[in-house]
Structure 1
Amino acid sequence: MSALRLKVLIAGGGIAGPCLAYWLTKIGLNTSITVVERSRSPRVTGQAIDIRGRAIEIMKKMKLEEAVRSFSTTEEGAIFVNSSGKSFAEFIGGGGFTAEYEILRADLSRLFLEATEGLDNVRYVYGDSVESLEQTDKDVNVTFTKGSKDTFDLVVAADGSTSTTRPLILDEQILKDSYKFLGQYIAFFSIPSRPTDPKLWQWYNAPKGLGIMTRPHRNPSTIGAYLCITMPSREQRDPIVEEAMDKGTDDTKRMLHKYFENAGWEAKRVLEGMDQAEDFYMSRMALVRLPKWTNGRALVLGDAAFATFGVGTSLAIESGYALAQELSKIQSTDDVPHAVKKYEEVFRPIYAKTEGIPPGFPQLASPQTAWGLQIRDWILWFLNKSKIYKLAQR
């Protein structure tokens, strides 16, 4: 088996891509893996994410548990606050909001990179992407954006929910209506911390779907700040936000100042911190749901295949592991299409158990009116006082 050479291209250097690269080096084949990332360097932005379920065991098999714990955000739970900063609902110790393994996306991505980038058979290429690909019975011919060409036995698109490689793999009919915008925009960035900042996820909402959150960091000198704009319904877009995001970071920050300058709570502090933040990033919350993930010697993986709410990181880890397991069974590179097809058959039932999101999310969590907020806050208060949420958590 060690003589069987498997040449793999992975588009995307975030979570799913490096995790897959790691497991491909452990399956007993002579693998040659190229990870191409369109960013010019490893990304240092991103929100707090968590690892749950089967992904925890996979992370432990990678011998990364100690490292993940050392990079913990130190978050101890979540509280909801009013405009004066007074909490009215507290979910300490998790309560479904904070998982046992909470880590910044950039930190987890870095751990996966460090587990693979020193290996002789894994190569990272930054500042490039897949321009086109052509499949034959024996391989996949790839042309890259910068003009180079190469041939692979397998191509994996793991470049996120807005994947540019996905339409090169799956046909238009399969992709139709697969990207579902949830009607929420979120900006992530770091701001200076204060001694009074709790080790809690603080959540504040104002009318018109505005939300401000702060979350602790492992680095005691900063905390994570989040500015959310939620539309009245899913798929509805805000033309002002869209235009600002299209123009770039400076215009996006100016837009956020106009939206949040009188929002209440710690809006002034957060906006001032945003102006100095070097890790600012704003994105659209979306689901990706596809009836098919694979096509011969190519497939989509992680958020490129099934971006979802709450468990996207865990699914990315699980899917990379599951694909590597199926590839470990091949006897020749002719078996790659069968292994890819088998992976989808095995993993789709696993994904199906987690693809749902809370009814009405995120609109019910971020009401548009003052009375809508009052109703939501009363529900949260009741859940907190009655401890019913613990049943849901279990």
Structure 2
Amino acid sequence: MTVPSLNILISGGGIAGHCLAYWLSRTRLQTSITIVERAPVPRITGQAVDIHQPSIEIVKKMGLLNSVREYNTTEEGTTMLKPNGKPFLHLRQADGFSFTNEYEILRADLAELFNDASSKFRNVQCKYGDSVTSLTQTSSSVHVTFASGTSDTYDLVVAADGSASRLRDMILDPSVTKGCYNFIGQYNAFFSIPSRPSDDKMWHFMNLPQGRALMLRPHRNPDTMGAYVCVTTPGHGHKDQRMEDAIATGHEAVRGLLHEYFAGAGWQSGRILDGMDTASDFYISRSATVKLPKWTNNRACVVGDAAWATFGIGTTLAIVGAYHLAGELGKIKASSEIPGALEMYEQSLRPLYKAMGELPPGYPQILFPQTMLGLRVRDSALWAVSKGRGLFKLFGGDKDDNKFKLPEYDWVDV
């Protein structure tokens, strides 16, 4: 049987992009894969993420499950704090009632594991500090021009470049992408600060009025802690214009505004804000969802957050999506069958996405209230439902994902 030889471009060097490169390299196809990443170097920032079934099974098939365990953030559960910094609720993972997952890992660490796994294949190369500026499709190829001024022709192009993907609009029709990106009203700053002997292994979570929150979470590295500074607006689509202006100006402006917003916040706010000023890995992001009625177009498609950004389950869907996409492509007998394989990828994954891809009701505003009264109501509700599994169902846990079985594909052993 003739094995198709394909030239493939993946935009985005994160979890979805490297996972896809790995599984494409495990097909019987003869592939030449280029991963293009806008950042000049692999990203080292990002919050803690967790993975659920069926992505755990995929990671196991990659031989990385033990590594994921070794990279665990060591977090043991969540301690909820009142605005005065006093704890009122402890949710321990060992008790089976916690926001903390068994497979809790920093996003950068998981991306690094997938990067290492894909880079072992000679057919995979990474191109940093560049991005796609234009894309033109024909029935037989995709012509791409890059910001660096170079251009090339591919058999397949995949956008795996995050929720704010620029390539998404080049791939899909405007009628498909219109209104797909939805800001849910939350800004999150992530960075590392030095640890202290008094730090424990709990996720400390303190809310303040006006949707503000400060958090400390343990790292695998005992010398650092993960600091999170959150600002939540009253509703989805509602922007904080001062924050928008600061983000447009740069990180120093964002830091200055966060100092203003959290001045005198109590608890360990001084430690967190001082650490923010010197952190080398400071990063600010907007929380958003992406919902698309279509993920594919001819010889190009979207995967990961570029296709279905959501809360709590995005990493799982990115891993599963990459697996499905590579598996369906692995069935083709000729390059001309790529569009059909992309359609099958979408058909096979949609049921899982529909079951798992929705935000928890009222999130994030229900967890980050604007008023003291709202905080008291939320705290009472958290305490009450923590006595049963309702808490974790309410905020996206306990998803019934075991009923989704991974399709069997013809992978090449490595």
Question: Equivalent residues in 2 for 1:381-392 (5 A)?
Answer: 381-385=383-387, 389=391
Q: In the alignment, is residue 6 of structure 1 matched against residue 6 of structure 2? A: yes
Rounded Cα–Cα distance in structure 2 between residues aligned with 1:383 and 1:195: 33
For the 8 Å contact 1:12–1:158, the answer to whether it is kept is yes
Q: In the alignment, is residue 284 of structure 1 matched against residue 286 of structure 2? A: yes
For the 8 Å contact 1:274–1:280, the answer to whether it is kept is yes
Rounded Cα–Cα distance in structure 2 between residues aligned with 1:195 and 1:2: 62
> SS state of the match for residue 367, structure 1?
coil
Superposition deviation, residue 197 in structure 1: 1.2
For residues 55-101 of structure 1, what are the alpha-carbon distances to aligned partners after superposition, in whole Å with 9 as ceiling and x for unaligned? 00000000001111111100111110123432111110152411110
> SS state of the match for residue 169, structure 2?
helix
1:138: which partner in 2?
Answer: 140
Q: Which amino acid aligns with 1:17?
A: G
Superposition deviation, residue 383 in structure 1: 2.3
For residues 308-364 of structure 1, what are the alpha-carbon distances to aligned partners after superposition, in whole Å with 9 as ceiling and x for unaligned? 000000000000000011001100101001101111111111111112111111111
1:330: which partner in 2?
Answer: 332
2:246: which partner in 1?
Answer: 244
For the 8 Å contact 1:244–1:255, the answer to whether it is kept is yes
CA RMSD of aligned residues (A): 1.4
> SS state of the match for residue 182, structure 1?
strand
Rounded Cα–Cα distance in structure 2 between residues aligned with 1:169 and 1:351: 21
Rounded Cα–Cα distance in structure 2 between residues aligned with 1:390 and 1:3: 47
Q: TM-score, normalised by structure 2?
A: 0.93
Q: Which amino acid aligns with 1:263?
A: A
Superposition deviation, residue 389 in structure 1: 3.8
For the 8 Å contact 1:2–1:28, the answer to whether it is kept is no
Question: Equivalent residues in 2 for 1:135-174 (5 A)?
Answer: 135-174=137-176
For residues 161-209 of structure 1, what are the alpha-carbon distances to aligned partners after superposition, in whole Å with 9 as ceiling and x for unaligned? 0001111001111111111100010000001111111211111000111
Q: Which amino acid aligns with 2:21?
A: A
Rounded Cα–Cα distance in structure 2 between residues aligned with 1:2 and 1:262: 69
For residues 16-74 of structure 1, what are the alpha-carbon distances to aligned partners after superposition, in whole Å with 9 as ceiling and x for unaligned? 00000000000111111000000000000000001111000000000001111111100
For the 8 Å contact 2:3–2:28, the answer to whether it is kept is no
> SS state of the match for residue 304, structure 1?
helix
| Aligned residue pair count | 394
1:305: which partner in 2?
Answer: 307
Q: Which amino acid aligns with 1:24?
A: L
1:120: which partner in 2?
Answer: 122
Q: Which amino acid aligns with 2:118?
A: T
For the 8 Å contact 1:75–1:215, the answer to whether it is kept is yes
Return 5+ residue gaps in structure 2 as ranges: 399-414
Return 5+ residue gaps in structure 1 as ranges: none
1:370: which partner in 2?
Answer: 372
Rounded Cα–Cα distance in structure 2 between residues aligned with 1:184 and 1:215: 19
Rounded Cα–Cα distance in structure 2 between residues aligned with 1:307 and 1:363: 18
Rounded Cα–Cα distance in structure 2 between residues aligned with 1:158 and 1:310: 18
For the 8 Å contact 2:382–2:391, the answer to whether it is kept is no
> SS state of the match for residue 227, structure 2?
strand
> SS state of the match for residue 353, structure 1?
helix
Q: Which amino acid aligns with 1:82?
A: K
2:97: which partner in 1?
Answer: 95
